[in-house]
Copies of this chain bind each other. A is one copy, B any other.
Amino acid sequence: MSELTDELRRGFWEVMTLSRAFDDAMIALYWEGKLPIFQFGAGPLPGELHCSNGAEPVGAGVCAALSPDDMITADHRPHHVAVARGVDLNRMAAELLGKKPGLSQGKGGHMHIYDPAVNFASSGIIAEGLGPAAGMALARRLQKRPGVAVAFIGEGAANQGAFHEVCNMVGLWKLPVIVVVQDNEWGVSTAKSESTAVERNADRASAYAMAGEWVGTNDPDDIYLAAVRAVARARAGEGGTILELKTARLTGHFMGDQQAYIPEQMKQVDPLPLYRAKLIRDGVMTAEEADAIEARAKERMARAMQFAKDAPYPDPREAFDHVFAGEAA
């Protein structure tokens, strides 16, 4: 499983283009109803929207190293991980639009993506997913079932207290947990160097008796191989890893962020064309094949979007359901 086969690499391209198609479609829809006057609450896709454009290699590379047993928590920017993990695309699209067939029947929205069928969860408070991920790993240990847990956070989240508390327990109890720190250089408008006392969060692993790995390429091949190593350590009972991955945030913190604060020399590179060129260069696929894969991704996303648009809204009375399990529908 740990070899970089051609099939695997074409799979990365497929997953990345699908994730990009997802975000691009959502971005287009997001602006409906929000121009000329921008307003979070307007249009068919209201609320904050944090897109993953630029971070697709992280989702593709890490998720390919996981098995279905493994568990994931993601943060406020979950799309690339969810798509790579195989979260139901139709129902995720419907969820973003607040529709009844959405994963959460419209109650969650884009920061709250839950798909237990593929052991995926996400939520919107910074660093909030770390404890649950470690707890999922602990549960499996108690249940004597296999399973590695992966918490996806941003480099900004690594300065939140929960990071310290959870990493310490992961190290202390040698839990099979991988903390993926997605370093896209920014937490909203704050650069990593303005928020973090050290250059690399991976180096903080030694404070927790965890392994630390750093990948600086935003390339799914490299990310995959590092993730495979981390997963292998976790499965072998050697404990957790802080896996820091340099990545990109091409469309701003959220839609509406003009990113005027980003200086010219910090402009980020789109990893997709680079990876496409690399695979063609390596003879893994032809340009035509690459385009065909991308086209299929866009089509698939178009169908998902159509599904979402056609779906009905929940009935207003359903707002009162699901406050407690075992009570309402």
Contact = CB atoms under 8 A, between A and B. Distances in A.
Chain copies in the assembly?
2
13 contacts: A159-B168, A160-B165, A164-B165, A171-B197, A171-B198, A172-B194, A197-B209, A198-B208, A198-B209, A203-B206, A203-B207, A204-B207, A206-B207
Q: Binding site of A, secondary structure by majority: helix, strand, loop or mixed?
A: helix
Contacts of A225: none
Interface string A173-204: 00000000000000000000011111000011
A163 interface: yes
A197 B175 CA distance: 12
| Top 5 closest pairs, chain A to chain B, by CB | A161-B161, A171-B197, A164-B164, A204-B207, A197-B209
Interface string A135-171: 0000000000000000000000001111111011111
Contacts of A171: 197-198
Contacts of A196: 168, 172
Interface residues of A, number: 25
Contacts of A204: 207
A165 B159 contact: yes
Nearest to A240: B197
B161 A165 contact: yes
Contacts of A165: 159-161, 164
Contacts of A160: 161, 165
A161 B159 contact: no
A169 B198 CA distance: 11
A244 to B, nearest CB: 13
A186 to B, nearest CB: 16
Nearest to A195: B172
A163 B160 CA distance: 10
